[in-house]
Amino acid sequence: MGSAPIVELEGVNGQRFTLSGPGAGDEGVTLKTDIQGLYDAPVKPLYTSHANEKGSTYRGKRELQRDIKFGVGVLGANGAWEDLDSDWRLAFDYGRTARLWVEHNNSRRYIDIALSREPEVTDPFKGHANGYTYITMHCVAADPYWYDKVDTFPWVSTIDTTGGSTANGTIVVPFANPTPAPIWAQWVVQAATNARWTIPDYSFGDDRYRRAAADANRRIVMPKLLAAEHLYIDTDEAAKHEQVRSNIDTQIYLRMNGTQFLYPIKAGQKRTEFNVSVTGAPAGVGIQLRLIRPYSRPWGLRL
């Protein structure tokens, strides 16, 4: 007989509730059984057909928002119910996201959720008398995926390259992508005036641009950095902001001259060496690779 997973809610105001597992109910709120929308992420396959086609042809898929429903019980003795009930409601908002954590065995993942409609309370006026209410929460996860911790892999140059030499380094990632779907690398580049970084954008066999072989070792030479200009690079093709941003809003993407990062890290990609280099920088300047792994479920699905 296994143990129940630990389920925690981290509210928009930072308050935490343990809903299931060890410590459940310590804050007066426990998870009930009416849970919907928290397992596999919703997907809509896209098919088209022409006039004389037998059946249809698969064209892709749309990854939809999650519509989530779950029930909780709020129990408070000695007149504490009203405060507990209020604390639970204040942990949620529309637009601002709370974070739902699920931990089981060696897995700990989270999903960000916001209210999609008002909570439904069964017999709210009996709460004071009974010290208990059952609340049905209706939430939405605009990003339908669960995430575990961000893995970071730094490299720091040990030599001075301000005279025009180049420092080369290798970031070794033991298991680049243990998920069943492609993921997108993120890079954080440390400021150094006039430093020029070269950052990998390997194709990993992806032939979306008909250049899988030609781009197997693709690397992008970045523009020279301005004074105090740190960079944040999110290679995700679906990112809701510029692919390359700076901490001082220098619109560095305009200095990229149209060059973009193109490729995700394929599903199941094992040990990988990411080769980076820098020139025009003092010793001690570094770069960090950040890998965020999305999962369709709160546990499992690791390759």
Please give the pLDDT value at position 272: 98
Q: Which of 83, 118, 147 represents a domain boundary (last residue)?
A: 147
Two tokens at 226?
Answer: 């301005």
Distance CA 47, CA 61 (A): 9
Total domain count, the chain: 2
For 100, how many CA atoms within 13 A lie in the half-sphere containing its CB?
27
Q: Is residue 303 part of a domain?
A: no
* Among 147, 168, 187, residue at a domain's last position: 147
- Is 65 a domain residue? yes
Residues 118, 245, single domain; the answer is: no
- Regarding whether 12 and 141 lie in a shared domain, the answer is yes
Verify that 210 and 269 share a domain, yes or no: yes
- 220 within a domain of the structure (yes/no): yes
| 54 contact partners, CB below 8 Å, separation of at least 6 | none
Indicate which CATH number applies to the domain containing 291: 2.60.120
Regarding whether 102 and 212 lie in a shared domain, the answer is no
- Are 134 and 165 members of one domain? no
128 in the same domain as 181: no
Which tokens go with 134? 């059952």
Question: What pLDDT does residue 89 have?
Answer: 97
Which of 236, 232, 246 has the alpha carbon at shortest distance from 187?
Answer: 232
End-to-end alpha carbon distance in the chain: 25
Residue matched to tokens 């709460």: 127
**Domain of 138, in residue numbers:** 6-47+56-147
Environment class of 15 (CB within 10 Å of its CB; exposed 0-12, middle 13-18, buried 19+): middle
Domain with 97 in it: what CATH number? 2.40.30.200
Determine, yes or no, domain membership for 301.
no
Do 29 and 105 belong together in one domain?
A: yes
Last residue of a domain, one of 130, 147, 164: 147
Cα–Cα distance list, 122 to 24, 34, 77, 133, 230 (Å): 21, 14, 18, 6, 52
- 275 close to 200: Cβ distance less than 8 angstroms: yes
Q: What is the pLDDT along the chain (303 residues), one digit of tens a residue?
A: 678 899 999 999 999 999 999 999 999 999 998 899 999 999 999 999 998 999 999 999 999 999 999 999 999 866 689 999 999 999 999 999 999 999 998 899 999 999 999 999 988 888 888 899 999 999 999 999 999 989 999 999 999 999 999 999 999 999 999 999 999 999 999 999 999 999 999 999 999 999 999 999 999 999 999 999 999 999 999 888 999 999 999 989 899 999 999 999 999 999 999 999 999 999 999 999 999 999 999 999 998
How big is the CA angle at 187 (ends 184 and 188), to the nearest 5 degrees?
A: 150
CA distance 296 to 51: 36
